[in-house]
């Protein structure tokens, strides 16, 4: 009887240990991001989200209209599926399949997303009236593609992503990611500065805060959501635990739920936390 009791006790303890282990272990999720704007549900992988957000942030820093972001994203969709590829037709490389032999920069430069995106915008702003052109016309004026009509196929996705990432459609961009520790506030602050310019970010332990200043309340909200969505788009890469703004909060742990109400989330600053 004593042996049977010891055996039974051991099985109970083992079952408890297994239950605790299973409960504490977070499932591995497929990582992706979505923008839900109007009737469009645009889904992209985390790399596509990262570069789309960078196109948006750089356009905002340069003072370009949202249409410029839409054109850039649609063009990159066609040229590289918004992946920073190291191959292409002849010497074409990078997000926009820019050719070093055609003056876009060195091979190393056109594979640097900051350089390639700025180079694309440099070409776009030289196109008179680009903001009122059809995407096919504007993109073709910059790219000189052999298949100019193909850019139009990506317009709906590009418009939804641009509207969300530029902050004009609040809380419409979200990512499903796996939790990760080790986020670095210094890296997050430097990343924001590299993309948006000096936001006056404040670092405090595991928190990075980007104040949203000046202008009308609506403009502050738009700028704030551009930064908040950018951080979510890069949460997997930067190991961000949570992002909050405008009474809403996104967390990596509950990322399938998207943005949820959070009364403590301020409407005049975007806050990112790491573990």
pLDDT for position 144:
81
Would you give per-residue pLDDT tens digits along the chain (275 residues)? 444 444 444 444 444 334 333 334 567 889 999 999 999 999 999 999 999 999 999 999 999 999 999 999 999 999 999 999 988 678 889 999 999 988 898 999 999 999 999 999 999 999 999 999 999 999 999 988 767 778 889 999 999 999 999 999 999 999 999 999 999 999 999 999 999 999 999 999 999 999 998 889 999 999 999 999 999 999 999 999 999 999 999 999 999 999 999 999 999 999 999 98
pLDDT for position 26:
62
* Residue among 87, 58, 49, 75 at smallest CA distance from 237: 49
pLDDT for position 146:
63
* Residue among 65, 63, 85, 66 at smallest CA distance from 76: 85
Using CB atoms within 10 A of its CB, is residue 251 exposed (0-12), middle (13-18) or buried (19+)?
buried
pLDDT for position 103:
85
Counting every residue, how long is the chain? 275
* Residue 227 to residue 52: CA distance in whole angstroms: 13
Cβ contact 71:77 at 8 Å: no
Alpha-carbon distances of 179 from 82, 195, 240, rounded to whole Å: 24, 24, 8
Orientation of helix 135-143 relative to helix 113-124, angle to 10°: 110
Q: In what order do the strands lie in the sheet with 242-245?
A: 202-204, 207-211, 269-273, 242-245, 248-251, 260-261
* Pairing outcome for strands 260-261 and 202-204: unpaired
pLDDT for position 25:
55
* Residue among 76, 218, 196 at smallest CA distance from 143: 76
For residue 93, list its beta bridge partners.
98
* Residue 69 to residue 54: CA distance in whole angstroms: 10
Q: What is the full DSSP assignment across 261-273? A: E-TTS-SSEEEEE
* Residue 75 to residue 151: CA distance in whole angstroms: 6
Cβ contact 202:211 at 8 Å: yes
């Amino acid at each position: 009887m004593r042996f049977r009791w010891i055996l039974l006790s051991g099985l109970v303890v083992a079952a408890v240990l297994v239950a605790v282990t299973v409960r504490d272990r977070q499932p591995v999720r497929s990582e992706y991001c979505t923008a839900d704007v109007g009737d469009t549900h645009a889904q992209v992988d985390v790399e596509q989200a990262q570069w789309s957000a960078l196109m948006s942030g750089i356009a905002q820093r340069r003072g370009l209209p949202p249409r410029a972001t839409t054109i850039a994203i649609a063009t990159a969709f066609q040229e590289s599926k918004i992946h920073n590829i190291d191959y292409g037709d002849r010497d074409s490389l990078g997000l926009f399949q820019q050719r070093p032999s055609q003056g876009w920069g060195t091979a190393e430069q056109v594979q640097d997303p900051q350089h390639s995106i700025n180079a694309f915008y440099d070409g776009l702003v030289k196109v008179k009236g680009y903001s009122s052109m059809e995407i096919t016309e504007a993109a073709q004026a910059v790219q000189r593609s052999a298949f100019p009509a193909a850019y139009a196929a990506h317009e709906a996705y590009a418009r939804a992503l641009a509207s969300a990432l530029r902050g004009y459609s609040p809380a419409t961009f979200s990512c499903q990611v796996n939790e990760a520790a080790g986020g670095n506030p210094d890296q997050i602050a430097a990343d924001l500065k590299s993309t948006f310019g000096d936001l006056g970010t404040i670092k405090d332990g595991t928190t990075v805060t980007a104040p949203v200043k000046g202008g009308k309340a609506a403009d502050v909200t738009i700028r704030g959501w551009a930064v908040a969505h950018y951080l979510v788009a890069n949460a997997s890469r930067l190991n961000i635990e949570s992002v909050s703004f405008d009474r809403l909060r996104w967390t990596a742990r509950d990322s399938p739920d998207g943005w949820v109400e959070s009364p403590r989330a301020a409407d005049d600053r975007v806050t990112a936390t790491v573990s």
